[in-house]
Structure 1
């Protein structure tokens, strides 16, 4: 006698990835880019949205892709991606040079050790590279004063086919802007005969003069605003990731009673507390304080007390119709990830990347 397996009902938490919104956001970035081409930045598993899922959704739109890991770039080639791919941290071992050449990948070169790797490449290896300029962020790259000499050296190497001049802005989204860094870059750009890539999401949207041959939109692709003073919605962006769950329990808490670990919330009046199947084990920020916005049955309320690994609490006192089974939006459609991130003292970048493997992902808006 055969027995069928019982239907398994998992926790109600889900992350929905809207691929139509992703494509929409890329086109918003492209409109700001004008005649420039745009590398879609898909590092960190496409900011937590899934590398292959994201790239496949953009494969007919994107001019190119930018990421960090050589293995991920090879996986994109194996999946049939033919657009230019740039490796933002470049190569890490001499053997990487031949792999980059074989798969048509462009590593960013940012230190003398990487030039030595190029010099040691086997005969016949040819590849395009990026040259990273440290224009003031002091993270990766060569200082402007030595860039002409580095360029001259790169052009003598048999392994180097072409050079893309690159830099990154530290405060394109902030009050200092890009002017100080751009002043250091301008003479190099004026004397450079090849292609140039400077603008990240914030520079692309707010500093049009930094747009050259290639731009590198990242956060905006996923529906986040790079600016604290301007919402994603006002920029014409759509949320791509929506994290949703449900109320799994309701507690009637009397005045003076506490809620959650450490008893951080004390009720000042009788309070209906909803318990949501979502916690830091799912990627929700543990440090999100009480008062962080949340949607229940499509209506705004706020979290209560400390976020635990698997659950968090919210205030249902003004939502008498809400109860066990009511849908909850932690962030995404209807509740900006940027707003939730600001309340939690973090960035939407971090929240997207923090989504854990135990959260099931549902795709919508696919072809």
Structure 2
């Protein structure tokens, strides 16, 4: 009996890429596959996204993983600090780092070697990484004189695009467009929320992430409303069931007590597999297509569920933690987190398969 199993649906990934192109039909698409493809397996995800224009990752190590797997598309590293060694390796493997800090300018000024293609990140209002947008023209002149550095384009990142009422997104788009209007190179603004809700952010190139994996970045609309399909089905077996008397406690800390004589199931997954320990009683799992609440605290290897509505559940059958019949966004909301974290925190104890 296999314990925790994550099944990755390649057809769902391909479908979600087509949805990106429906929303942004004229733009190049760089798929965000950082954090091992948001926990789905970067190489698996990249292989499923036929026709994608490029990839966005966090680091040189993540980029090299794709190169070693045979990917030839452009790859951008979004948050890789630069030094001489990083620059040399990036140039050798046609990996395109993002320049986001003044220390990088000194490194690039000293760089000698094969042409290194770079993106320049502007801070349009999120105030995390990037140069002040007003300095774009000066940066362009500074980099233009470096003989071994080629400027590919300009990018920024949206801080509040998941909230269609927040004014910051329009301000960021306006700041970025004003800063880059007279400069050469491609422009990229949109993340998944930008793709879905802010057409003005589409620019030349979009960088979708979470929507490729079948989750919605928008608080007001589900993934299904955008035509997205879950790419991961996380399941685990029912390993035990027992009858518990009314008033008896369940699990560590006795945080939940049976309101009546009832059947309780034990599922073979816990925080040691990456399921959130903080998920409260009431967080849904799915048994035979029906929502069933988690009860008591999540343990390292197990969690317990209320079987009163599925008395026919049998030991050995697989329970869905999230997947096609239980969106990860719904689980994340119940657990007080986001689907991104659910996907990324799965541990090596979880077995993976591709379907």
> Aligned in 2, Cα 1:271/1:201: closer, same or farther, shift over 3 Å?
same
SS at structure 1 position matched to 2:131: coil
Partner of 1:64: 54
Give the distance between the partners of 2:122 and 2:344, measured in 1 at CA. 27
Choose the corresponding residue for 1:256, options 239, 247, 256: 247
Give the distance between the partners of 2:70 and 2:314, measured in 1 at CA. 47
Give the distance between the partners of 1:149 and 1:95, measured in 2 at CA. 26
SS at structure 1 position matched to 2:297: coil
Partner of 1:135: 124
SS at structure 2 position matched to 1:145: helix
Give the distance between the partners of 2:253 and 2:247, measured in 1 at CA. 14
Q: What's the CA shift for 1:103?
A: 1.1
Q: Spell out the pairing of 1:119-198 with structure 2 (5 A cutoff).
A: 119-122=109-112, 124-174=113-163, 175-176=165-166, 178-198=169-189
Q: Show structure 1 runs of 5+ residues with no match.
A: 1-8
Q: Spell out the pairing of 1:1-367 with structure 2 (5 A cutoff).
A: 9=1, 11-58=2-49, 60-122=50-112, 124-174=113-163, 175-176=165-166, 178-364=169-355
Give the distance between the partners of 1:145 and 1:194, measured in 2 at CA. 17
Aligned residues: 353
Give the distance between the partners of 1:271 and 1:263, measured in 2 at CA. 16
Give the distance between the partners of 1:77 and 1:323, measured in 2 at CA. 45
- Asked whether the 8 Å contact 1:297–1:326 carries over to 2, the reply is no
Q: Show structure 2 runs of 5+ residues with no match.
A: none
Give the distance between the partners of 2:283 and 2:68, measured in 1 at CA. 42
- Asked whether the 8 Å contact 1:134–1:141 carries over to 2, the reply is yes
Give the distance between the partners of 2:79 and 2:295, measured in 1 at CA. 41
Give the distance between the partners of 1:153 and 1:90, measured in 2 at CA. 21
Give the distance between the partners of 1:288 and 1:75, measured in 2 at CA. 33
Give the distance between the partners of 2:102 and 2:302, measured in 1 at CA. 49
Give the distance between the partners of 1:79 and 1:12, measured in 2 at CA. 28
- Asked whether the 8 Å contact 1:88–1:107 carries over to 2, the reply is yes
1:16-53 CA distance string (max 9 Å, x none): 00011011111111221121100000000000011111
Q: What's the CA shift for 1:146?
A: 1.7
Q: What's the CA shift for 1:184?
A: 1.3
- Asked whether the 8 Å contact 2:30–2:56 carries over to 1, the reply is yes
Give the distance between the partners of 2:64 and 2:352, measured in 1 at CA. 24
